[in-house]
Amino acid sequence: MTDQGNRQEGTLINRLPGVLWALSCLVIIGAIFAGLMQTGGPFEQRKFKMDARRVEDLNQLVFQIRDYYREHKTVPGTLTELPKAHAYRDKNFTLDPETNKSYKYRRLSGERFELCAVFSSDSKADRLRSDYRYSPNITEPTDFTHPAGHHCYVFRKEVEGNKDTVVFRNR
């Protein structure tokens, strides 16, 4: 090997680790930023979790109202009429996790009712959440997609199949 060749190799070899390190730095920082874009960052994720809690609560309330309907053949006048025994593990589904105020419930008729909540974020912004309740799958009786802020869902009675299985749909 010539002196010239060796010198070039020496320079390249001395520079390469720094170049590789800088390249790794760029890729890592870029990947972290892209990751944060996907998740929305810690504060957005907090909002998404609050909304997921609200959707879960509303979903449970719809089940409880359905059970109430099966027994009384009408939807309740207020949420307080729902039996406490239905509360799962002493959890009260009627309270918003953030404000601790009751969700708004309105009886529209014996077979229709309205449930409202104040959401922190748009459900479309939560890109990583592929919750079935947000899915466009029409066989699911409920669709809980929501904008940010106050939003109401109207549910109506439907009889499924040839049996008298009552469900409440909002689609």
> Which stretches of the chain bind another protein, using CB under 8 A?
3, 6-7, 9-11, 13-14, 16-17, 20-21, 23-25, 27-28, 31-32, 34-36, 38-40, 45, 127-130
For the bound state, the minimum distance from the C-beta of residue 125 to another protein, rounded and expressed in Å, comes to 12
Q: In the sheet that 149-160 helps form, which strands lie side by side, from edge to edge?
A: 104-107, 112-119, 149-160, 165-169
The Cβ of residue 53 has, within 10 Å, a number of other Cβ atoms equal to: 14
For the bound state, the minimum distance from the C-beta of residue 63 to another protein, rounded and expressed in Å, comes to 22
CA distances from 106 to 60, 68, 155 (A): 16, 15, 11
- Considering the complex, state which of residue 50 and residue 116 has its C-beta at the smaller distance from another protein: 50
**Angstrom distance (rounded) from CA 126 to CA 146:** 11
**Angstrom distance (rounded) from CA 48 to CA 125:** 9
For the bound state, the minimum distance from the C-beta of residue 111 to another protein, rounded and expressed in Å, comes to 34
For the bound state, the minimum distance from the C-beta of residue 141 to another protein, rounded and expressed in Å, comes to 20
For the bound state, the minimum distance from the C-beta of residue 31 to another protein, rounded and expressed in Å, comes to 5
DSSP E strand boundaries for the chain: 104-107, 112-119, 149-160, 165-169
- Considering the complex, state which of residue 10 and residue 110 has its C-beta at the smaller distance from another protein: 10
The DSSP 8-state label assigned to residue 96 in this structure reads -
- Considering the complex, state which of residue 42 and residue 161 has its C-beta at the smaller distance from another protein: 42
Please report where in the chains the tokens 């309907």 appear, as a residue: 69
